[in-house]
Chain A
Amino acid sequence: MPEMNLLEAIRQGLDEMMAADSRVFIFGEDVGKRGGVFRVTEGLYDKYGPMRVIDSPLAESVIVGACIGAAMNDTLPVAEIQFADFIAPAFNQIVQEAARIHYRSNGDWEVPLVIRAPYGGGIHGALYHSQSVEAFFAHVPGLKVVTPSTPYDAKGLLKSAIEDPNPVLFLEHKKTYRLIKGFVPEEDYRVPIGPADIKRPGEDLSVFAYGLMLHYCLEAAQTLAAEGVSVEVIDLRTLRPLDTDTILASVRRTGKALIVHEDNLFGGFGGEVAALIAEHAFEYLDGPVMRIGGPDVPAMPFAHSLEAAFMPSPASIAVAMRRLAAY
């Protein structure tokens, strides 16, 4: 099994899907000749040509809107939004159209569309290249929201997303692109959209995270293990649909829950997980359900020191884990 980083796993997933099915094509800003700003689509333009790896105008509404139309006409588009921060102009196309067409047509029409978008901070990207947008979209029924954190999951989930008959927003944490490496099997495989994954089993408290934060949580759990606290770390992997069974089973076992995300807390995804636990595992709780998230300030600052203060870190997560364990 070759080891690769998360970016390479996504590229390989795209390549294999394009080779297997001529209906798959890529549409986005600079995805063609330049190979994408992060080089995710590098080499695909030369391999599949300008009709299947298409450079779009600088207009996200067009990227998603055109892909919806194409998806309804027997193609499998993979749209790329260069940075999740730029997705706002396509909000209407995603929320009002793509997410609703299957419902609106009483199941007659499907929109097999994947929208890839790099998100998240910690890379000195400042206000317009660091945002987390999952909470806006996880709210919308009809839209699937996927947030892989390992190369294996990223490739397997991407293939499932491309094969999914309805729209999937595929959020890739840009700091994990080259930072996170892992083994990816050579044979064809899928990771289904939906199930969460227990990345580290434990007994004393349950921690839920995704994307970069998942890795920070694993690091913090390692620290806590040396202190005698056994932390279970669960990678949600898919935010919508949410694997409520795995979340509840874990909390019912440990009695304590902590949710970690980089997005700011108020109205963030962690609130949904916390509400779920409070409603369905109340009698199993042995402590308050806790959340960690970015501060409620308008955006990620540019200065290194302020950016570091914004991002939850393995150290700040470990502090919360200790507090919850001692409660």
Chain B
Amino acid sequence: MIDIKMPQLGESVTEGTVGRWLKQPGDPVAKYEPLLEVVTDKVDTEVPAPEAGILHEILVPEGETVRVGTVIARLTPAGSTVAAPAPAASPVAATVTASAAATVTAVVSAPPPADGRNTYLSPVVARLLAEHNLDPAQIRGSGQGGRITKQDVLRFLAERERQPSTPVPAAAPAPTPAVAPAATPAPTPAVAPAAAPAPTPAVAPAAAPAPTPAVAPVEIPADAELVPLTPMRRSIAEHMARSVRTAPHVTTVMEVDLSRVLAHRAAQQEAFNRQGVRLTLTPYFIVATVAGLQAVPVFNGSFTDQGIIIHRRINIGIAVALNEGLLVPVIPDADEKNLLGLARAVNDLAERARAKRLRPEETHGGTFTITNHGVTGSLFATPIINQPQAGILGIGAVVKRPVVVTQNGLDAIAIRPLCYLSFTFDHRIADGATADRFLATVKQRLEQWEG
């Protein structure tokens, strides 16, 4: 029997919702054939069968959200003759692995030296101890020479969490009575039910059975309706609120003349079309942004208490508006691509973002973000930083306006395509003059565009 687990769809993703089962118990499945659709806050994707066989049972119904790694179904592999009913099989398997594990540990972990144990702390153990404010003397090491391993710390934390004899009161029923009818896929309750390993608050002394501050049930007026949050909406809400809380935002605005860029695009469009690439303005803005980041690298960074992390790679995220929200696919190493490569990447990522066909990792690793709010007519905006980045560049609508130009000492009025660039930055990282230097570089690169 093979356990089908909720896959980890990206580094920062911790849970997923079963969207739709494509197979039912008893159905035969081929290797790699999609078993179900999974919805996360970042992407929707299909989970393929790891082996050919028969779907034995479904453990998580559609609409339910579970943590990554949770067993969601079981598959009987094609070769196995006995499709033993699940309950009988599992205890046996459990015993076998348990005893096997025991033997291994017994063989491998040498008894701690008489005069004391190996007190070396590996980087991850040191970090976990610091994060949870633990004393290594409390933890029994099972590694070589009694060394404390990462697993030892995690086990210790899990046990400590279980101990406070007053367990979390079996989580107040459904948070919103209004949505009770079973039909609606219960909006993942923000109150972590017992299962979720709550982010251990430094363990309240057992005495007071602290009544978990149950999230106040939302009062829904009679003349209103409640729209459940989609995972994407919830994720955006959490992220935006956190960003504004974390970083003091300042926005600076410059006006840029796009005459040369538009002329270049008009001249190149056909050549790009022949290569199957649609040339929009976005790649130009990426090139200019890269120039800005190279001139002022601090904005390709992240603020931390220990210092500002400056990234060597320039990975530009491009905000793509969807009907139900917003995705930011990332163009890795944008500084290594030419206009053609960038245009191709932008087209491809935007198309697949809209088709919900991005791979999870394609929304990760951005070091700076560009948002093109001008496409919906906005002149300028004050975008919110995509944490943990240092800034975000907003592109306004391109509008022809009369401007005063000076040629040979004479002033004249000309018609020029102009647009506002709004640059929001984290004031912890840099100040206004530095931000303007970045923005001026972007502007200059665009206004003096050459090939």
Seen from chain A, the residues whose Cβ lies within 8 Å of a Cβ on chain B are 1, 106-107, 183, 195, 201, 204, 226-229, 245-246, 249, 252-253, 255, 282-287, 322, 325-327
Contacts and interface: CB of A to CB of B under 8 A. Distances in A.
Contacts of A246: 361
A255 B127 CA distance: 12
B11 interface: yes
A106 B104 CA distance: 58
A226 B93 CA distance: 11
Interface residues of B, number: 33
A229 B108 CA distance: 12
Closest 6 CB pairs of A and B: A228-B101, A326-B108, A286-B150, A107-B338, A249-B11, A286-B122
Interface string B99-121: 01101100011000000000000
A107 to B, nearest CB: 4
B123 A107 contact: no
B124 A227 contact: no
Contacts of A249: 11, 361
Contact of A285 (B101, B123, B339): B123
A37 to B, nearest CB: 32
Nearest to A282: B123
Interface stretch (B80-88, B141-149, B418-426): B141-149
Contacts of A284: 123-124, 127
Contact of A228 (B97, B109, B124, B144): B97
5 contacts: A227-B100, A245-B364, A255-B122, A283-B126, A327-B149
A160 to B, nearest CB: 13
A107 B125 contact: no
Contacts of B127: 283-284
Contact of B11 (A106, A252, A327): A252
B122 A229 contact: no
Interface of B: 5, 8, 11, 30-32, 97, 100-101, 103-104, 108-109, 122-127, 143-144, 147, 149-151, 338-341, 359, 361, 364-365
Contact of B32 (A183, A245, A287): A183
Contacts of B144: 326-327
A123 B32 CA distance: 31
A71 to B, nearest CB: 16
B147 A327 contact: yes
Given A228-B101, A286-B150, 10 more contacts: A1-B30, A227-B104, A245-B11, A249-B11, A255-B124, A282-B123, A284-B124, A286-B124, A287-B122, A326-B143
Contact of A195 (B97, B104, B143, B359): B359
Contact of A322 (B108, B126, B359): B108
Contacts of A195: 359, 361
Contacts of A327: 143-144, 147, 149
A159 to B, nearest CB: 17
Contacts of A253: 8
A325 B109 CA distance: 10
Contacts of A283: 123-124, 126-127
B289 to A, nearest CB: 19
A226 B100 CA distance: 7
Nearest to A243: B361
Q: Most chain-B Cβ atoms within 10 A of its Cβ — which of A1, A227, A322?
A: A227
A326 B123 contact: no
Nearest to A141: B336
A139 B419 CA distance: 43
Contacts of A285: 122-124
Q: Most chain-A Cβ atoms within 10 A of its Cβ — which of B11, B97, B126?
A: B11
